[in-house]
Structure formats: C-alpha cells, structure tokens
Amino acid sequence: MDEARVILSDLQHVGNMRVGTSTRAQIDDAVRLMIRNLSRLLTFDWDSRPEVRALIEAANRQLEVPRRPNTESTTHYAFNWLRDSATVGARLANLHKGGPTEPPGTRAESSEAHDVRIGDFYEARPGLFYRVVDMTTPKVGVKTLRFANGRTAVVSGLVDVWRPVERVSSAADTYGPPPYAPAR
C-alpha cells in the first residue's frame, strides 16, 4: 500500500476536528501526528512540477520550529496551524504518484446498506470520498448517511464502502524534529 495514502487517512482525521469540540490535548496529539506526517511526506521522491515544489515549500514553512505551536501557544493558533498543515499535507499526499485511486489508507469492501458503519468512507462521486459520521435507518435496508461536511446520502441495496486500515503506532513512530518549539 502506498504510504502517502495512509498519511492522507491521518490528515482526513484532522480535517474532521472542530475547535469547539476538540480538547487542547487532542489538538496537541494531532499536532505531533501532523509534524510526523509532514516530515515523512518531505522524504518521498517528488518530481519537479511547479505545484509540487510550491507544496513542498509550504510544508517546509509549516515545519519551521518558530512557526510550530508550543505549549504556550493559544488553542486557536495551534488549531489553525493544524488545519493549514493538514491542507498542505493532503494536497501533497494526493499528488504522490498521481494521486490515490481509492480513499487513502483504506481497502475496498462491498456490503449491504445495513453493514455500513460510522467511520467508513463513501464515494459521493468519482474520486470524492466522505467519511460517515452518523446515520439513521428510516426503514429496513435503507440508511441515511450523514457526513462531516453536513451533507447526507440515502443508500440501499449493495453499497461500496471503504474501511480504514488498522494501524499500530507507538511513541517510537516519529519522524523529524520534536513536535514543539522550545518555550521562550
């Protein structure tokens, strides 16, 4: 599996975070994950297309130690840095080897509508995938799926969904410099 797809799956998780419902500890954990993923993306072999060069420069700027959130940074600063970094990282990961053909970090599964679960990816249109965050069952065999962006879809019968790949990570699973700039 392409490592860029796994990284993009992590970045999609950050995209679902909300500043009002995320604790500072969750944001700090996501910042560490973001630094690890951006650092890893920068180690890949990239071509010399202008858009790739621009994204690599943007990722390098985000990883500069003075720009990173530290323990004294406000929660809004840390969250905004996180969202900006996720945007740059996701765009860069999508360009790796021509972009993903399926949602990154996932494997295809076909299932009946009643087997769709929260956390699955649903392809709303070719190449556009939404993560299911909530669902209702108005009648047997029919599901109304709600996505993080507020959109919904009604599905029945056979539905193609993609499920996240299980990953094991540890504190030793790190790339690049420490996640926080030293406090001044």
pLDDT of 49 strictly over 50: yes
Give me the amino acid identity at 29. Answer: D
Identify the band that residue 171 occupies on the pLDDT scale cut at 50, 70 and 90: very low
| Encoded tokens for 54 | 């621009």
Strands 121-125 and 106-112: unpaired
Question: Tens digit of pLDDT for each residue in 114-164?
Answer: 677 787 777 777 667 778 888 888 777 788 888 877 888 888 777 777 776
Identify the band that residue 30 occupies on the pLDDT scale cut at 50, 70 and 90: confident
